């Protein structure tokens, strides 16, 4: 009897780079001390999960292919459906990541129960909890559905056999770092195990037309643990974010082959589970104090959805040689850039001032349209002069002080009008080609100087 050949390779645990010898610094990602030795079996070892006769596909002209729009599986959570692009696509592979204890398992168990309530079979596979522990969490959430099956297993071969027998419409794998294949001799959670297990689950999803959700652990930097290849393999990547000590959670889409990216859904964590928040703008603005210097409101686009959030700035004289520039919720490099524009184009002496900026509510904003609101909040705090409480500021600020055009201005203004705001200060070039709602005034500005003259209350 011939034994399968084995070879030793060193694999980077961050990016998946493979090398026949150990190196202190990974050539792929440049990180130090991430190369770990793994023993890989030859092609003849191990058991395969999928069985059946292999079929060979043939190329076809795209003009002869039929377009079939398959119905999506919708849940009772409209926020969850919207982040996915309208619901769960049959045969899709979805990766959801987030910090420990943030509520990933709670969300997926609630989604499983809602799908099972529609008489669709769901298999919830937990590699971290026993079936009794899963049952305790289900009792707390009020989950009692006969079509929801629970399995505690980490062997991918056994998982594949159970999927073949049960034939569910939806499979939840919690988490991918606990699943292993027998023919891969490295430990569960290693780069090789995560890559091979995800590849096999993808084949199961596509060949059997089953929707598969896999949970991924995250690193201390907030990225999903394992090789970057993992995010390229799946159809959709979702991040579940939020502070553990706050009740609000944000489900963000960063990749979606079946819908728009950067969609955002907001949920509130309660004793009985997660509850969706349909009007996020009211939540982020409910504690705003009117008439306070350094506070502005901006309409930011999160995917296809406009959200109104408050930006706060605190400018104070520096006690050190190098003034501090700190920001929470926005890119910290954007703060000194906008302060330099205010110094050069408006004449503010900010070089000896500490600057602290924050996006209220724990939201992270990264689009250029928030530049004007940041600049106005900095100027408002520096002059100790509040803005009008019913004003919205939208626009990108250039280095020469000009206010540049932004996208989807109509949706932003409509959201502001819906929440009772009375005036929108936006780029002059955004005023053409659409109709302004009746109950709101839109003022176009071309420079940062014009925006300050209009926006700061007298």
Residues tagged in the binding site annotation for ATP? 98-105
The full 3-state SS of the chain, as one line of letters, equals CCCCCEEEEEEECCCCCEECCCCCECCCCCCECCEEEEEEECCCCCCCCCCCCCCCCCCCCHHHCCCCCCCCECCCCHHHHHHCCCCECCCCEEEEEECCCCCHHHHHHHHHHHHHCCCCCEEEEECCCCHHHHHHHHHHHCCCCCCEEEECCCEHHHHHHHHHHHCCCEEEEECHHHCECCCECCCCCCHHHHHHHHHHHHHHHHHHCCEEEEEECECCCCCECCCCHHHHHCCEEEEEECCCCCCEEEEEEEEECCCCCCCEEEEEEECCEEEECCCHHHHHHCCCCCCCCCEEEEEEEECCEEEEEEEEEEEEECCCCCCCEEEECCCCCHHHHHHHHHHHHHCCCCCCEEEEEEECCCCCCCCHHHHHHHHHHHHHHHHCCCECCCEEECCEECCCCEEECCCCHHHHHHHHHHCCCCEEEEEHHHCCCCCCCCCCEEEEECEHHHHHHHHECC
- Output the known binding site: 98-105
């Amino acid at each position: 009897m011939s034994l399968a050949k084995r070879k030793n390779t060193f694999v980077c645990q961050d990016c998946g780079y493979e090398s026949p010898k150990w190196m202190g610094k990974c050539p792929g990602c440049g990180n130090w001390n991430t190369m770990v030795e793994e023993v890989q079996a030859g092609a003849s070892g191990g058991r395969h999960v999928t069985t059946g006769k292999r079929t060979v596909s043939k190329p076809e002209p795209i003009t002869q292919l039929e377009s079939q729009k398959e119905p999506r599986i919708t849940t009772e959570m409209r926020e969850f459906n919207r982040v996915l692009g309208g619901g769960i696509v049959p045969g899709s592979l979805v990766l959801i990541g987030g910090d420990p204890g943030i509520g990933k398992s709670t969300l997926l168990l609630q989604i499983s129960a809602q799908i099972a309530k529609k008489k669709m079979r769901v298999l919830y596979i937990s590699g971290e909890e026993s079936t009794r522990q899963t049952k305790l969490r289900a009792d707390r959430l009020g989950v009692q559905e006969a079509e929801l099956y629970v399995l505690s297993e980490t062997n991918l071969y056994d998982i594949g056999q159970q999927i073949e027998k049960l034939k569910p419409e939806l499979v939840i794998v919690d988490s991918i770092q606990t699943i292993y294949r027998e023919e891969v001799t490295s430990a569960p959670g290693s780069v090789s195990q995560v890559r091979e297990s995800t590849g096999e689950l993808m084949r199961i999803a596509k060949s059997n037309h089953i929707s598969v959700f896999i949970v991924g652990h995250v690193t201390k930097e907030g990225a999903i643990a394992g090789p970057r290849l993992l995010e390229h393999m799946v159809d959709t990547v979702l991040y579940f974010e939020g502070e553990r000590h706050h009740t609000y959670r944000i489900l963000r889409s960063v990749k979606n082959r079946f819908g728009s990216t950067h969609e955002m859904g907001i949920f509130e964590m309660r004793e009985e589970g997660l509850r969706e928040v349909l009007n996020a703008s009211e939540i982020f603005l409910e504690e705003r104090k009117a008439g306070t210097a350094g506070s502005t409101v901006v309409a930011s686009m999160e995917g296809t959805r406009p959200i109104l959030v408050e930006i706060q700035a605190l400018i104070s004289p520096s006690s050190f040689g190098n003034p501090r520039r700190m920001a929470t919720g926005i890119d910290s490099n954007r703060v000194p850039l906008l302060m330099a524009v205010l110094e050069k184009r408006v004449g503010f002496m900010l070089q000896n001032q500490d600057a602290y900026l924050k996006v209220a509510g724990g939201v992270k904003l990264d689009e250029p349209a928030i530049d004007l609101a940041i600049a106005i909040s900095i100027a408002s705090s520096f002059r100790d002069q509040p803005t009008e409480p019913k004003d919205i500021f939208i626009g990108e600020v250039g280095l020469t002080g000009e206010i540049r055009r932004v996208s989807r201005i109509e949706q932003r203004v409509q959201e502001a009008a819906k929440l009772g705001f009375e005036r929108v200060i936006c780029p002059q070039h955004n005023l053409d080609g659409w109709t302004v709602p009746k109950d709101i005034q839109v003022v176009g500005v071309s420079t940062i100087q014009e925006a300050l003259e209009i926006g700061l209350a007298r």
